[in-house]
Copies of this chain bind each other. A is one copy, B any other.
Amino acid sequence: MPGLLQHAVTTEVPGPKSRAAAKQLDAVFDSRAVHFVVDYDRSEGNYIVDVDGNRFLDVYSQIASIPVGYNNSTLIEAAKSPDMISALVNRPALGNFPSATWAAILRDGLLRVAPQGLDKIFTAQSGSEANELAFKAAFMLRRRRERGEGVEWSADEINSCLRNAKPGSPDLAVLSFKNSFHGRGFGSLSCTRSKAVHKLDIPSFDWPQAPFPALKYPLEDHVEANQAEEAACLVEVERLITEWSCPVAALIVEPIQSEGGDNHASPAFFQGLRDITHKHNVVFIVDEVQTGFGATGTFWGHEHWKLTSPPDMVTFSKKAQTAGYFFGDAMLVPDKAYRQFNTWIGDPARVLMSKAVIEEIVSRDLVQQTARVGDVLYGELEALARTYPDHIRNLRGKGQGTYIAFDTVDAPALVKGMKSLGVNIGTCGVCTVRLRPMLIFEEAHIPTLVGALDKVLRQS
């Protein structure tokens, strides 16, 4: 049983075999970001094993993307299934030649967990691609409304777009938030505002960024200030939408800004965004690439908001093991075929893995487990923060499952210390430690994590 495995580190990290393997890799593939080289055959459940034989409790989970543990038996069954063999061997151009099983694979997989009100799907291969496809749907909807239903494209539009010129290639914008991360394609990167290393030297669109609420913690001590902060941000969002140099066709927001430092906002703030986007006919896109699939203690992070009406589009990837967007309004399907299209339109093999992930989550009630375990974990971290108030600051994520983070003094040193004690942990933002355990993380794993934190902070 994975829960009974023990972490065990016997070399420095990365160890000599990891370093040798990374060096070998570096001749053909950039290996500068390698933490350590992994023996996936020996990794199991919550534990990742490196080539030096070190076993770590993994609360980083491949940048928050392993959903139900290494070598999960349900996933292994799916990987061995005849459907999977066919999907791998006979990769279809899904838009032209879908398989007879495709509709059922969607129905019994991803559509089982479709956000309320969003019963249609478009599949993709990465979070970045999913966001860009959502933007394209929003842009096409915007122009369709401006043009008028049923009005044909003009010759000027058709000709000018091939020159990347107006009116065919219009100036339209997507609004995003400071410190957000939405991917690294040229459109998604134009919405990403997290770090210079993500953006520097890459041409980008002149799209607006609104301030994201900078909440003060603990929340209960700063109720009024935080309300005022959120209200001010909403005012600025509406100002940007109405005053920007070109029409804002869509707004994209993460339920919790993840790469940007695990920044939260209240349900009221997001309801405010829903209201403003409704008022101004802006497509409201919720980027659940990192928050989706259960880690916040609800299947989708935005369920916490209890919106009066659903977002227009919800994008996903990472723990889904595939990617895409959900939507409800049939107008978000472009007016003609082949406008939202590409050769593969996702990968049925990965969509089949997603189906197995969903089966595992539902049958084992892992979202509820994550909510429960997260509450216990949060409590323990709150206690630890009282012992180390300088090293655990702005603890956040209460009631958000295991999606918990805190600011610290020297995040890289903390990560290094945790690795030496057998815990693989990640950071985000400038000085934030983010917890991203898998959905199979249990109460039994908490002492390892909290004990290692205690030990590292005691020595710092």
Contact = CB atoms under 8 A, between A and B. Distances in A.
26 contacts: A21-B103, A22-B98, A28-B119, A29-B98, A29-B102, A29-B103, A31-B98, A33-B341, A38-B99, A62-B97, A65-B93, A66-B91, A75-B89, A79-B84, A91-B321, A125-B125, A140-B201, A143-B201, A161-B200, A168-B199, A168-B200, A169-B202, A170-B203, A172-B201, A172-B203, A186-B186
Interface string A143-165: 11000000001000111011111
Interface stretch (A218-226, A229-237, A344-352): A344-352
A15 interface: no
Nearest to A179: B162
A203 B344 contact: no
Interface stretch (A190-198, A274-282, A379-387): A190-198
A33 B100 contact: no
Interface residues of A, number: 127
A346 to B, nearest CB: 10
B80 A36 contact: no
Given A30-B122, A38-B92, A38-B97, A102 B25 contact: yes
A106 interface: yes
A123 B344 CA distance: 17
A401 to B, nearest CB: 20
A339 B157 CA distance: 36
A96 interface: yes
Counting from the closest, the 9 A-B pairs by CB-CB distance are A186-B187, A32-B337, A143-B201, A79-B88, A125-B125, A164-B204, A186-B186, A62-B93, A158-B196
B65 A344 contact: yes
Contact of A202 (B86, B125, B139, B153): B139
Interface stretch (A126-134, A303-311, A368-376, A440-448): A126-134
A439 B348 CA distance: 23
B92 A88 contact: no
A324 to B, nearest CB: 10
A206 interface: yes
A62 to B, nearest CB: 4
Contact of A63 (B136, B165, B343): B343
B97 A48 contact: yes
Nearest to A203: B172
Among A91, A132, A336, residue most surrounded by chain B Cβ atoms (within 10 Å): A91
Interface stretch (A39-47, A263-271, A389-397, A449-457): A39-47
A31 B14 CA distance: 49
A16 B243 CA distance: 53
A144 to B, nearest CB: 8
A251 to B, nearest CB: 16
B341 A184 contact: yes
A98 B22 CA distance: 9
Contacts of A72: 89
Contacts of A202: 136, 139-140, 161, 169
Contact of A129 (B65, B129, B172): B129
A185 B186 contact: yes
Interface in A62-78: 62-63, 65-66, 70-72, 75-76, 78
Given A33-B338, A186-B185, A157 B200 contact: yes
B99 A37 contact: yes
B139 A98 contact: no
A35 interface: yes
A239 interface: no
A403 interface: no
A139 to B, nearest CB: 5
Contacts of A120: 27-29
B153 A200 contact: yes
A411 interface: no
Contacts of A32: 336-337
A63 to B, nearest CB: 5
A420 interface: no
